[in-house]
C-alpha cells in the first residue's frame, strides 16, 4: 500500500569509499564502511529519523521535522570530525537534504523529496550539508540562521534557477545547533532592522507587510537607478522574514557570511546580517545598499 506524505529526506554518502578497497583491502574497507554506515544510521534515529535504507556506503533517512534532519546531519559530521576511525581508517561524508512530497511503499521512499535530496548530496563536497529553499522555509529561525546561500541551480525540467544553501556546522555553529535541540518552539519573538542611508526601519512579527522600492507608497523608499516602483516585499512567514522580489532588474542579497544570491521574481529568507542591493550587484562603497539585521529570541521548553 502506498501513502503520500511531506517529509525531509537526508542522504549521507561516505567520501572516497571506492579508493578504500584498493588501499586497505576488501575486508578492512568493508568493515570500516559498515561501521560508519551503522553510526550514521544510529545518529539519524536518535534525532527522530526513520532509516529508509542503506546502499553500500550511503544512508537514506526521512524526518517529520526539518530541524531534526539538520541536527542529524550536523551530528554525523561532528562524529566523523572528532577523529573517529573505523578499522584505522579516517572517513568523511557529504550530505544533502530536501523537504518535499514523498511516496512511501513497502518501506521505501519515492518522489520529489528523495530525488532532490540525492541531487543535493551530489553537489555537496566533503564535510558539507547542502539543502534547498523548501527546506529552509520549514526550519526554525535559530537553525535557519546557520545556513548560507551557496549556489543557484536549474532543476531538471525547470527553466528557472533555484537557490541552494549550505548549513554551517563547524565549531561554534555546531555547538549552537545542538543547543537549539533543547527547544521545542523556536517560532518566538522576531525582529528585522533595515537601514538605508539615514533611514532606519524596525520590523516585527506583527508587521503585516513591508514594501521596498522607489514609489512613495513604499514602507522603505530607495531612490536609485534600476529600482522598480515596488521592487520587493518582505513578509513574516513561519517564524522568519522572507524577501520576495517582484522587480524588473532583480535583487542581490549578500549575507555577512555567505555568497551573493540573485533573485528575480523569487524569494529568500533573511537571517543574520547582510546587505540588499536593488537592481544591480552590490559593492561595499555603494551608497544605495540596504543593510539588514535579524534578531531571534528562542522560547525554551516549558
Residue identified by cell 536549474 is: 154
Global confidence as pTM: 0.65
The pLDDT of 167-187, averaged and rounded, is 51
What's domain 186-299's architecture? Answer: Sandwich (2.60)
Task: Give the pLDDT band of residue 299 (cuts 50, 70, 90).
Answer: very low
Within 10 angstroms of residue 56's Cβ, the number of other Cβ atoms is: 12
Domains 2-180 and 186-299 share a fold: no
Q: pLDDT at position 63, please?
A: 95
Q: How far is CA 86 from CA 24, 31, 80, 90, 219, in A?
A: 12, 8, 10, 7, 57
CB 300 within 8 A of CB 182: yes
pLDDT (tens digit, 9 = 90+) per residue, 137-176? 888 877 887 888 888 887 665 656 788 999 988 644 544 4
Q: pLDDT at position 301, please?
A: 40
Distance CA 192, CA 291 (A): 10
Q: Where are the domains of the chain?
A: 2-180, 186-299
Q: Which fold has domain 2-180?
A: Alpha-Beta Plaits (3.30.70)
24 vs 138: which has the higher pLDDT: 138
Distance CA 290, CA 220 (A): 10
Q: Is pLDDT of 54 > 80?
A: yes
Burial class (CB in 10 A: 0-12, 13-18, 19+), 103: middle
Strand 220-221 relative to strand 210-213: parallel, antiparallel, unpaired?
parallel
pLDDT (tens digit, 9 = 90+) per residue, 102-129? 999 888 899 889 999 999 999 999 999 9
Amino acid at each position: 500500500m502506498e501513502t503520500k506524505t511531506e517529509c525531509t529526506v537526508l542522504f549521507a554518502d561516505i567520501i572516497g569509499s571506492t579508493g578504500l578497497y584498493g588501499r586497505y583491502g576488501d575486508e578492512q574497507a568493508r568493515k570500516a564502511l559498515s561501521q560508519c554506515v551503522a553510526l550514521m544510521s544510529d545518529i539519524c534515529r536518535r534525532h527522530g529519523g526513520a532509516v529508509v535504507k542503506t546502499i553500500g556506503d550511503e544512508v537514506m533517512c526521512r524526518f517529520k521535522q526539518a530541524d531534526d534532519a539538520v541536527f542529524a546531519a550536523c551530528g554525523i559530521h561532528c562524529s566523523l570530525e572528532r577523529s573517529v576511525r573505523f578499522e584505522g581508517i579516517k572517513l568523511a561524508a557529504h550530505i544533502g537534504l530536501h523537504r518535499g512530497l514523498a511516496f512511501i511503499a513497502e518501506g521505501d521512499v519515492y518522489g520529489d523529496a528523495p530525488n532532490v535530496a540525492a541531487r543535493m548530496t551530489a553537489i555537496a563536497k566533503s564535510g558539507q550539508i547542502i539543502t534547498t529553499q523548501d527546506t529552509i522555509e520549514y526550519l526554525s529561525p535559530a537553525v535557519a540562521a546557520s545556513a548560507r546561500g551557496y549556489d543557484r541551480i536549474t532543476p531538471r525540467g525547470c527553466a528557472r534557477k533555484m537557490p541552494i544553501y549550505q548549513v554551517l556546522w563547524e565549531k561554534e555553529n555546531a555547538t549552537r545547533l545542538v543547543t537549539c535541540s533543547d527547544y521545542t518552539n523556536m517560532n518566538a519573538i522576531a525582529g528585522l532592522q533595515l537601514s538605508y542611508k539615514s533611514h532606519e526601519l524596525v520590523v516585527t512579527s506583527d508587521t503585516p507587510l513591508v514594501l521596498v522600492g522607489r514609489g512613495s507608497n513604499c514602507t522603505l523608499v530607495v531612490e536609485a537607478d534600476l529600482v522598480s516602483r515596488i521592487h520587493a516585499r518582505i513578509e513574516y512567514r513561519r517564524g522568519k522574514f522572507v524577501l520576495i522580489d517582484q522587480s524588473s532588474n532583480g535583487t542581490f542579497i549578500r549575507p555577512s557570511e555567505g555568497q551573493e544570491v540573485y533573485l528575480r521574481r523569487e524569494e529568500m529568507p533573511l537571517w543574520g546580517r547582510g546587505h540588499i542591493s536593488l537592481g544591480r550587484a552590490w559593492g561595499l562603497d555603494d551608497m544605495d545598499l540596504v543593510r539588514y539585521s535579524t534578531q531571534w529570541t528562542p522560547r525554551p521548553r516549558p
